[in-house]
C-alpha cells in the first residue's frame, strides 16, 4: 500500500510540474503536431563550449536520457554551422551512430575540437581508431549509404527546427526547452525536469 501511495505521489508531483510549465518561460512551442513516437533531440556541436559543458561537466544529456520514460528515444544530432571541420564532424557522428560507437568517440572528439586540433577527416579518423573503431570499419562506412542517410537526417532536422544556437533540446517535435527561463540556482535539475514535463504535455 505504501508503495502504491508513493507512486501516486510521485505521479502527482510529476504532473503538477508539467502543468506549471509556462510557454515563453521554460519552453517555446515550435510545432503544432507531436512526433509519432515520444522523442527528445539535442542539437550540439563539438566546437561549442556550452555543449562541452553540458556534456562533460554537467552531464545534462546523460541525465535527460536516464530520466526518460520507457519507449522515449533520445537523439543527439550534430550541426554544421560552426565552421572548421563541422561538416566532417557531422559525418563522423553519423558513423558513430551507425556503429553504436557514440560513447567511445564523444569525449575525445569534444576534447580535440575544443582545443582546435582537427584539421581534416584524417585527424577524426585517428580519434576513431584510437577509441577502438577499426580502420576497416571507419574506411568502409564513412561514406556508406547508411551514414549518408544519417548525415541528411541531422541536417534536415536542424533545418526543420531552424536551429541557430546550441545546445538546443526539442521534445516530441513540438517544444523547445528555453534555458533562459530556467532556475539558474538548480539549472541541471530544472533542465531535466522541464524535458520530462514537456513529454507529458
Query: Is the pLDDT score of 4 beyond 70?
Result: no
**Nearest Cα residue to 44 out of 142, 141, 130, 169:** 169
- At what angle are helices 86-99 and 121-130 packed, to 10 degrees? 30
Mean pLDDT score of the chain, rounded to an integer?
Answer: 92
What's the CA gap between 148 and 154, in Å, rounded?
10
Are 184 and 43 in contact, with CB atoms under 8 Å apart?
no
pLDDT value of residue 20: 85
pLDDT value of residue 201: 87
* Mean pLDDT, residues 178-188 taken together: 95
* Mean pLDDT, residues 90-114 taken together: 98
Percentage of the chain modeled with pLDDT above 90:
89
Q: What is the pLDDT of residues 15-32, one digit of tens each?
A: 445 668 999 999 999 999
pLDDT value of residue 17: 56
What's the CA gap between 198 and 191, in Å, rounded?
11
Query: Is the pLDDT score of 11 beyond 90?
Result: no
Query: Is the pLDDT score of 138 beyond 50?
Result: yes
Q: What is the pLDDT of residues 32-49, one digit of tens each?
A: 999 999 999 999 999 999
pLDDT value of residue 10: 40
* 57 DSSP assignment: I
Amino acid at each position: 500500500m505504501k508503495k502504491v501511495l508513493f507512486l501516486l505521489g510521485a505521479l502527482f508531483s510529476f504532473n503538477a510540474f508539467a502543468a506549471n510549465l509556462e510557454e515563453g518561460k521554460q519552453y517555446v512551442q515550435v510545432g503544432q503536431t507531436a512526433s509519432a513516437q515520444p522523442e527528445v533531440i539535442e542539437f550540439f556541436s563539438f566546437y561549442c563550449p556550452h555543449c562541452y559543458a553540458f556534456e562533460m561537466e554537467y552531464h545534462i544529456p546523460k541525465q535527460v536520457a536516464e530520466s526518460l520514460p520507457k519507449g522515449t528515444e533520445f537523439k543527439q544530432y550534430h550541426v554544421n554551422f560552426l565552421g572548421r571541420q563541422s561538416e566532417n564532424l557531422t559525418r563522423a557522428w553519423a558513423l558513430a551512430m551507425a556503429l553504436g560507437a557514440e560513447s567511445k568517440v564523444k569525449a575525445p572528439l569534444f576534447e580535440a575540437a575544443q582545443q582546435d586540433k582537427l584539421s581534416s577527416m584524417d585527424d577524426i579518423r585517428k580519434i576513431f581508431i584510437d577509441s577502438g573503431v577499426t580502420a576497416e570499419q571507419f574506411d568502409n562506412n564513412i561514406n556508406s549509404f547508411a551514414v549518408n542517410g544519417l548525415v541528411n537526417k541531422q541536417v534536415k532536422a536542424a533545418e526543420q527546427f531552424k536551429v541557430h544556437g546550441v545546445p538546443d533540446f526539442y521534445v516530441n517535435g513540438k517544444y523547445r526547452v528555453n534555458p533562459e527561463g530556467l532556475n539558474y540556482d538548480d539549472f541541471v535539475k530544472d533542465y531535466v525536469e522541464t524535458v520530462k514535463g514537456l513529454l507529458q504535455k
